[in-house]
Chain A
Amino acid sequence: MFFSVFIVTFFTWLILTNSLEPSEVVIGLIVSIVVSTTFTRYYSIKFDWKLPVRILRFVFIYLPVFIWEMIKANLDVAVRVLNPSLPLNPGFVKVKTSLKGKNSKLALANSITLTPGTLTLDVKDEELYIHWVDVKATSEEQKQKHITTKFEKILKKIFE
């Protein structure tokens, strides 16, 4: 799937340089070819008929939830940092996820990192290891409810 990585890289270049001058385009082509031949071993983007639907779902279902959670995360950190007593109750917890695909697990890990009080440390098979600033629960169900469920549902619809 060398070609798909090439297309994405080249379009990114076009948007970033914001010009269609021949010299810019030629350099962009060369850079994109080098980048895509290097990285195609590690990652490929699959184009299929479902892709537009996925992108629409991503933009209209995932993004609003994500942005809202991100703002909450920032206010949460702000309140903690500005509070003179520095309220912390940190811990490392293990949470199971039902997502299977590589991409969906990456998206889940990223979402968790950018949501209130949690930071993904490691992903191994079906388990996520998370640093939690304010440990509220230790039972498996409660942990899932607090950390993963919200995004898991949405990401499942998008990626799987």
Chain B
Amino acid sequence: MSIIGYLLIIIGAFFYFLGGLGMFRMPDVYNRLQAGTKATTLGSFSTLLGVGLVNPAFLGKALLIIAFIALTNPVGSSVLARAAYLKGVKPTSKTVVDEYADEATKKAGEEQ
């Protein structure tokens, strides 16, 4: 059981590393958020689950923390991305389509 736990912790650490690398390599805020959100969710999940398996007394808490991360992490990154867009942070020049532009200018108009 504890071997599986340690394995999960190693996998988690690897995904954290990928999240960091993604932050570094991606060209703009939105793509960085993509890398950051995804890599860190599986990273946290498997690290916490690993800790829970190594030390079974912690398992219940670990599952609860996982549930809260699953609920809050996506909301946080959506809000960050939305705020960045409405504040006028330009997406990378590689961007193919932008169907949010109209909506965002409408919102900016309402606020003024």
B1: Cβ under 8 A from any A Cβ = no
The interface bits of chain B over 49-86 (1 if a CB of A lies within 8 angstroms of the residue's CB, else 0) are 00000000000110010000011011101100110010
B103 close to chain A: CB less than 8 A: yes
B37–A81 touching, CB < 8 Å: no
Q: Bound state CA distance, A114 and B18, in angstroms?
A: 16
- Report how many residues on chain A are interfacial, defined by Cβ distance under 8 Å: 37
**Is B31 in contact with A90, judged by CB distance below 8 angstroms?**
yes
Q: Mark B22-64, 1 if CB is under 8 A from A, else 0.
A: 1001111011011101110110010000000000000011001
Asked whether, in the complex, the Cβ of B34 is within 8 Å of the Cβ of A119, the reply is yes
Q: Which residues of A contact B25 (CB under 8 A)?
A: 81, 86
- Which residues of the other chain, B, contact A109 by a CB distance below 8 angstroms? 74, 78
Contact with B along A115-130 (1 / 0, CB 8 A): 0010111101000010
A23 at the interface (CB under 8 A from B): no
Pick from B33, B39, B71, B96: contact of A78, CB below 8 A: B39
User: Cβ of B81 and Cβ of A91 under 8 Å apart?
Assistant: no
Contact between A74 and B42 (Cβ–Cβ < 8 Å)?
Answer: yes
Bound form: Cα–Cα A102–B11 in Å: 35
Write the residues of chain B forming the contact surface with A, with a CB cutoff of 8 angstroms. Answer: 15, 18, 21-22, 25-28, 30-31, 33-35, 37-39, 41-42, 45, 60-61, 64, 70-71, 73-75, 77-78, 81-82, 85, 91-92, 94-101, 103
